[in-house]
Amino acid sequence: MIIFPAIDIKDKKCVRLTQGDFDKVNVYGEDPSLMAKKWAGYGAEFIHVVNLNGSRDEVGINDETLAKVAKAVDVPIQVGGGIRDEKRVKELLDLGINRVIVGTMAIENKELLKELIEKYGNDKIVVSIDAKNGKVATHGWEKVSDIDSVDLCKELEQIGVKTIVYTDISKDGMLEGPNFDIYKELSQKTSLDIIASGGVTSIDDVKRLLDMNMYGAIIGKALYDNRIDLKEVLDLC
C-alpha cells in the first residue's frame, strides 16, 4: 500500500483545514517544498498535494509553489484542487506534476473526463470522490448532490478511470479514523485502485486499510499533529 503524505497549500503556505472549512485553518509551514523534502526524506514514495485556492477557483495563485514542490523532490507528486478543464490539466503536467486529480469535472463533464483519459492515460488522471453520508460533494465540498458515491464509482470505472481518491468529508481532519465500511463496499463492487482519504489517524487505521488491500492511503493532519510516525508507517507498508 502506498502512503501519501498530504500537503495542503493555501496562499502559498502549507496548511490544514478542518472538514474543508476555510475558516478553520492551521498553518504548518511557510514553504510547502520544505515539507515535501521532509516527507521524501523519511522515505515517502508519492506525495499528495491539494491546491486549496484552486478548489475556490483561485487557480493560478500557487503555481510557482507547486512547481517548486515538484522540483524539490525526486518522488512523484499528485495534485488536486480546481482542475476543471484540459488547459489546467496540461498546465499542471507542464509544471512537473506527475498525476492530476479531478473532482467536480468528473461529475459534471464525463465526456471531457473520458477524453482526458484517452489523451493522457489513466495513470495521469485520477478522480477524487468527496462524499458526505454517501452522497457526492462538489466545488470544494461546498455543494452536496443527490448522487450516490458508489454508483458514481462504478460509472467512472466504465469510462476508463483506474484510480480514485475517496474522501469521507465527515471524517476529514477529525482524527476519528476512516470510514472503513465504504472502502470495503467499493472494493467489493469495483476493481478501482482506491486511495483512502480522511480520518487516517493511527497505525491501527493503516494496518486495517492494509489488510483491506487498499491501493493507497493519504495521511494529513495525523502527521502534522505527530499522532502517526511516517517512518513507522512506511516500514509497515
Q: Residue 108, Cβ neighbours under 10 Å: how many?
A: 13
H/E stretch holding 232 reads helix 230-236
Cβ 34 vs Cβ 73: under 8 Å: no
Residue written as grid cell 498525476: 99
At residue 133, φ and ψ (nearest 5 deg) are: 55, 35
Catalytic residues, by residue number, are 8, 130
Residue type (1 letter), 162: K
Dig out the grid coordinates for 67 from the structure: 512547481
Q: Residue 119, Cβ neighbours under 10 Å: how many?
A: 12
Contacts from 18-25 at CB under 8 Å and sequence distance 24+?
Answer: 18/172, 18/173, 18/174, 19/141, 19/169, 19/170, 19/172, 19/173, 19/174, 20/140, 20/141, 20/169, 20/172, 20/173, 22/52, 22/56
